[in-house]
Amino acid sequence: MKKQILSASLLVAAISAQAQMNYKPINDTLKIQLIEDINLHKTGNPNVAKPLSTKSNLTVMETPQPIAIVTHEIIEQQQAKQLSDVLQNVNGLYITSSRGNSQDSFGGRGFSLGNDNIFKNGTRINSGVFPEVSGLERVEVLKGANAMLYGNTAAGGIINMVTKKPRFNFGGSVGFSAGSWNSYKPTVDFYGPLTDNVAFRVNGAYETADSFRDQVSSEKYYFNPSFLFNLGEKSQLIVEADYLRNDFTPDFGVGSITHADLSYSLNDQVGKNVFFGTDWQYQSVEQASTNITFNHQLSTNWTLNAVASYQNYTKDYFSSERVQWGYIKNNASVDPTRLAWVRPFNKTYNEQNYGSAQVNINGEFNTGKINHKVLFGADADYSQADSYAYTLSSTNNVLYLDDASTWGSVAMPSATANTKNRINTRRVGAYAQDFISLTKQWKVIAGLRWSYIENMPTINTKFSTGEKKLLDNTGTSDQAFSPKVGVVYMPNENMSVFATYTNSFAANSGETSSELQSINTTGTAAEVLAQVQSISRQGIKPTTIDQYEIGLKKNIWDNALAFNISLYQIDYNNFYQSYWYQNASGAIVTPDSNLKEFAGKMRSRGVEVDITGNPTKNISLIGGFSYNNSVYLDTPEKGYVEKQRLVRTPATTANASVFYKFTEGNIKGLKIGAGAYFIGNRLAGWNDSKSTVITRNGVSRSFELEDYVTVNATIGYEWNKFSLQGKIGNIFDTENYNVHENYSVNPITPRNYYFTLTYKL
C-alpha cells in the first residue's frame, strides 16, 4: 500500500507543480541547434533524419549503412517498458541472454553487444542495468561494424539512447501506469524556459512491480534533469544529469537438465512460475552520469561539437545462481539416481568510474565542382573498474527436482570480503571522414581511424593480509587502424544504392608462441609444463574484422515510408583458445590458460529488410525481416567445430506493428494497434570445440531452442489533454526462454495487461 501511496503522491505533486508555472518567454527567436528532426517526427521516415550517432551532417539516405531510429512516439504508442521492448522494432537485433534476469544482453549479426556497444547521448554507458525508457527521445541503431567512429566495438552494431532535451516552450506530461503482477509506475516530464537564453527539462519515474515468477520483485527510481544555455547567436551548452537505481530479485529461472550422457535439455518438469532461489537474495544497481555538450557554429559551413561525460556505476549482488540439474555422482550427500542441484551462492560488489571526452568538427566545401562533407574528430576515455570477491560460509543446500519440499529458502551465508581487483583501461582515438559528391548522383565516402587501447595490469588486494600486487600477464596494449570506404549512387533524393567495406578490430588477451608445434606432449604433465614455460612468447595482436555490405534505401508513398534492404558478410579473422593437448590416457590438459592458440575464423552472412513510416496521418507502420548465418570456418585440428551455428544467434527475426488513430467522426481520438515479434530457432549452451568433442564423447555442449512468436494489441483514447491506453502483451500466452549458457533459463513474460493514463501539460 505504501508504494501505491507514493506513486499517487508523485502524480499529484507533478500536477501541482505545473499549475505554478506562469512564466512566459519574451521571445523564442534565438538561433539554437535543433534537438529533434521535425521531418522524422512528422512522417516517421528515418531516411530523412540526421542521426546523432553518425557524428556527421549526413542524412540517413546519404549514409552508406543501415540505420534504424525508434522515436518516442513509437515508444509511447507501444507502452514499452524495457529497452528490449523498444528494440523489437529493429530487425536483426535480439536478446542473446538475460543472466540472472539482471540485464538484457543484446546481439546483432552474430555478435554480442556489450559495454562497448551501448551508448547514451553518444557516450559509452555501462550495460549492466535495465535502462529507463520513459525519458528517451529516440533510440538510434547503427548496424554492422562501427570502428571508424567508435573504436573497438563489436561488429554487430551500436545502440545509442538519446534522452529528451530542454525546450523554449512550456509543456510536458504526467502519467500513471499499472498492470499485471502489481506493476505501478508514475512518470513526470516538465520542460520550458527559465529566461530568454536558458531552458530546462526534468524527467522522472518510479516503478514497483512483482512478477509472474514466485518471490521475484523489483523497484526502480529514475531522475533526469537537463539545462540548455544559448551562449549568443552561435553557441549552445547542454548540461544533463541522469540517475537510475534498480533494486530487484536475481532470478536464474528454471534451469536446464544435464542427462546421464552429458547432453542438455530445458527443464520442462515445473511451471514457469517456479522460483528456485531464496527469499533474501538481492541485487541493487545504481548508475549516475553527467553529460556536458557544447555546440558552436564556426562559420556558415563549419560546426564544432564537444562532449564530456562522467559515469559512476555500482552493483551490490548476493544470490543463489547457476540452476543446473543433473545426476551428481561425486558427492556422497547427493542421491546419484535423482535429478539434483547443489545450490551455490555468490556475493560480489562492483564499481566502475568512467570518464570520456570527444570533439567533432563538421564542414562542407567545394574543390572545383566536387563537393566535400568532412568530419574530423578525436575521443578519449578512462575507466577504473573495481570488483570485490567474498568468502562465504558453507551451506548444506541440496535440491531435488522431484521433491518440492527441498526447494525452500535457507539462511543467508555469512560473507567476508576476500579480494579486490582493480582494472584501469584507457582508450584514445582520432578519425577523419570525407563524403565526396563527384556528381549529383555519384558519391564516395572514405574514412580512417587510429585507435589505442590499454588495459593496465590488474591491481589485486588481499584484505586478510593487506597485500597489494600487480597480477602477472594482465596488462595489454594495442593499436589499430580502421578504414571505411564506400560508394553511393543517388539517382534522386528519394533513392540511394550503396556498397561499403569497413574494417574493425577486437583486442585479445593472453600470449601465443610460434613454437607451439615443437612441444612434445608424450611426457609427464610436469615435463610438458616445463616446455610450455620455456618457449618464447608474444602478445596477441588485435583480431581484424572485415565487413562487406551492399544496400538500397528508397522513400515511397510520397516519401512517407522508408524501404531499406541490405546484404552483408562479416569475416572475424582470428579466434583464440587456451592451448591444450590430449595426454596418454586420453584426458584433455591445459597447462597454462594464458597461453593461447589459433582456434578458427567466424563468418557472418545475412540480409535485412525493413519498412518504416506513416503512409497517412492516421497510420504508423513498422515492419522488418532478417536472416543471419554465423558459423566457424577454417578451424585447425584443435579448433572449433566447423559450420555449427553460433549459440544465442537466431537464424531469422521478424517484426511488424501498425497503429491507427481516428481523427474524425464520433470516435475521434480512438487509437488501435497491434504488433508481432518473431525469433527463429537458436542454440543455447556453448559451441563445441575439438577438445570438448573428446571429453564429452561426441555429445554436443549446445541444445536447441524452438522459434516463437509473441503478439500484442493496444487500444487508447485521447480527449482534450487526457490520454488513456491499454495493452495486452503476448496475447496467445506463448512459452519460450532466454538462456544464458546452460544455467540461466528465464521464461519470457506470459500474457499480461498494462494501461497508462497521461495528462499533457
pLDDT reported for residue 554:
95
* Euclidean distance between CA atoms 552 and 65, whole angstroms: 10
Report residue 541's pLDDT band, with 50, 70 and 90 as the boundaries.
confident
Q: Assess contact for 74 and 620: CB atoms under 8 A.
A: yes
Q: Is the pLDDT of residue 212 over 60?
A: yes
Average pLDDT over every residue of 263-292: 96
Q: How do residues 303-345 score in pLDDT, each as one tens digit?
A: 999 999 999 999 999 999 999 999 999 888 999 999 999 999 9
Average pLDDT over every residue of 249-274: 94
pLDDT reported for residue 103:
84
Q: What percent of the chain has pLDDT over 90?
A: 75
Query: Which of 502, 568, 569, 578 has its CA nearest to residue 540?
Result: 578
pLDDT reported for residue 33:
37
Q: In what order do the strands lie in the sheet with 111-113?
A: 93-97, 105-108, 111-113
* Euclidean distance between CA atoms 306 and 233, whole angstroms: 17
What is the radius of gyration, based on Cα positions, of the chain? Answer: 27
Q: Is the pLDDT of residue 727 over 70?
A: yes
User: What's the mean pLDDT when you consider all of the chain?
Assistant: 90
Lowest mean pLDDT among 441-455, 509-523, 596-610: 509-523
Q: How many residues does the chain have?
A: 761
Q: How do residues 238-258 score in pLDDT, each as one tens digit?
A: 999 999 999 999 999 999 999
pLDDT reported for residue 45:
67
Domains by residue range for the chain, with CATH: 2-507+542-760 (2.40.170.20)
Residues whose CB is less than 8 angstroms from the CB of residue 385 and which lie 6 or more positions away in sequence, other chains included: 350, 351, 352, 422, 423, 424, 425
Average pLDDT over every residue of 512-532: 89
Query: Which of 39, 40, 96 has its CA nearest to residue 70?
Result: 40
Report residue 41's pLDDT band, with 50, 70 and 90 as the boundaries.
low
What is the full DSSP assignment across 377-404?
EEEEEEEEEEEEEEEE-----EEETT-G
Name the DSSP class of 457: P
Cell numbers representing residue 192 in the block? 520550458
Q: Is the pLDDT of residue 37 over 80?
A: no
Q: Is the pLDDT of residue 674 over 50?
A: yes
Report residue 28's pLDDT band, with 50, 70 and 90 as the boundaries.
very low
Q: Is the pLDDT of residue 418 over 70?
A: yes
pTM, full prediction:
0.91
* Euclidean distance between CA atoms 632 and 620, whole angstroms: 40
Q: Is the pLDDT of residue 15 over 80?
A: no
* Euclidean distance between CA atoms 688 and 685, whole angstroms: 9
Name the DSSP class of 116: G
* Euclidean distance between CA atoms 648 and 111, whole angstroms: 9
pLDDT reported for residue 199:
97
pLDDT reported for residue 10:
41
Report residue 511's pLDDT band, with 50, 70 and 90 as the boundaries.
confident
Backbone torsions φ then ψ of 732, nearest 5 degrees? -90, 10
Residue 676: Cβ within 10 Å count: 17
Average pLDDT over every residue of 500-523: 88
Question: Which parts of 477-538 fold into alpha helices (H)?
Answer: 525-534
Average pLDDT over every residue of 143-158: 92
* Euclidean distance between CA atoms 605 and 305, whole angstroms: 36
Does the CA dihedral 273-278-279-280 come out positive or negative?
negative
Report residue 588's pLDDT band, with 50, 70 and 90 as the boundaries.
confident
Name the DSSP class of 516: G
